[in-house]
Structure formats: C-alpha cells, structure tokens
Amino acid sequence: MNYKTPRLINETAKGYQLFTLEDSFFCERKIFLTSMIDADVSNELIKQLIYLNQTNPKEEITLYINSPGGEVTSGLAVYDCIRMMKAPVKTVCTGMAASMGSILFLAGDKREMLPHTKIMVHDPAFGSRDIGGMKPLEIQKEVDDLMNVRQILCEIIAERTGRTKEEVYEKTKIDSYFRAEEAVEFGLATAVITKI
C-alpha cells in the first residue's frame, strides 16, 4: 500500500486553495532528505536551499535527514551549497543519517538528533562499479581517486567535529554507528532534542 501525501486546503481572499504538506513545510523553511542521494535529489535540494537563501538570507532553514547515503559527488555538491549560504542551516536527524547522509548532517550550523536516531560514518566504498577487464594502471587510478575522496571526507568530519584526522580515520575504517548521545559526545551532533 502506498502512503499518500495529504492535501491541505487553505481559505484565502481568492477562495480555497489546495496545496501539499511539502508546500506548507517549505513555506516554513523546512526541507527533507528522505532517500538515497543521487544527482536528481542533489539538484532538487540545491534549488530549494538557494531559493530559501535568496528569499531571506538571515532566517534559519531546517533540513530533516533520514538517508542511507548515496553518491559522493552529488552529496558534496549539497554540502558545499549549505556551507556557502548566508542563511543558517539546522540539520535534524529523524531516523538514520548514514554515509553521505552523515556528511550532509554535518553541514548544519546546529546539528540535532531525535533520541532514538543514529549516525553512521565510514570510508567511501568502491561501489558497484565492475573493475573486471580493467588494466592495472586503470585500477590504480580508481583506488587513488577513492583514497582522495577518503581524505576529503575525513577532513570534513574532523573540521566539523573538532576531532583529529587520526581519530576520524580510526572511526571510518569500519561502519561506525553512533546513537544520539554518542554522536554529541564525539562532536557529530550538537544536541539531542525531545521536541520538534
């Protein structure tokens, strides 16, 4: 069974207007990342962020995240956009912020978690790309690129948490899960909240 997004009705001077729940949240400067991160999701998030930043560069934007991660390039595009905007951005973990989802969570000026949520950080993976038939130097280039991405992600985590790169590399060499309180202690989150 597919869950249908509720439609809302608002009475205005021009009569009744029908709008979506997403429209209502967007007007309140609340946006959501609830899927894998790919080019389409990245582009949509960037458009929403830029629009809200332009309409009021002083008012806070809240990005709610429940994502298993996704493409590094697409995720870093959103991360860069958030970090360059004038409008402050608060990120809220509403389920699990994993992999690239955790990097986007770290983009927030305030980083809040609901009590039973988790964050997962790890080194980037080679993904599903098939290296069969590649020549040794082609494989080496892929590995070099992956190690470069590993360094970029480590630097982001270290900068945003205040941890050393050595501490970050120790955590990211495997899938490391942090409950809300642990995430605050490590510096990934700034607070555990009990009200939205």
Q: CATH code at 72?
A: 3.90.226.10
| pLDDT value of position 196 | 77
Task: Give the residue among 111, 105, 115 at the shortest CA–CA distance from 69.
Answer: 105
**Is 94 within the bounds of a domain?**
yes
- Is-catalytic flag, 122? yes
pTM: 0.90
**Is 35 within the bounds of a domain?**
yes
**Is 4 within the bounds of a domain?**
no
The residue count of the chain comes to: 196
Domain of residue 150 covers 28-192
**Is 20 within the bounds of a domain?**
no
| pLDDT value of position 8 | 66
**Is 6 within the bounds of a domain?**
no
**Is 78 within the bounds of a domain?**
yes
- Is-catalytic flag, 42? no
pLDDT in tens, 17-37: 777 888 889 999 999 999 999
Number of domains in the chain: 1
pLDDT in tens, 80-129: 999 999 999 999 999 999 999 999 999 999 999 999 999 999 999 876 66
**Is 100 within the bounds of a domain?**
yes
Band of residue 72 on the pLDDT scale cut at 50, 70, 90: very high
3-state secondary structure of 17: strand
Catalytic residue, chosen from 67, 74, 99, 102, is 99
Catalytic residue, chosen from 116, 122, 128, 176, is 122
**Is 50 within the bounds of a domain?**
yes
> In whole angstroms, what is the distance from residue 68 CA to residue 41 CA?
13
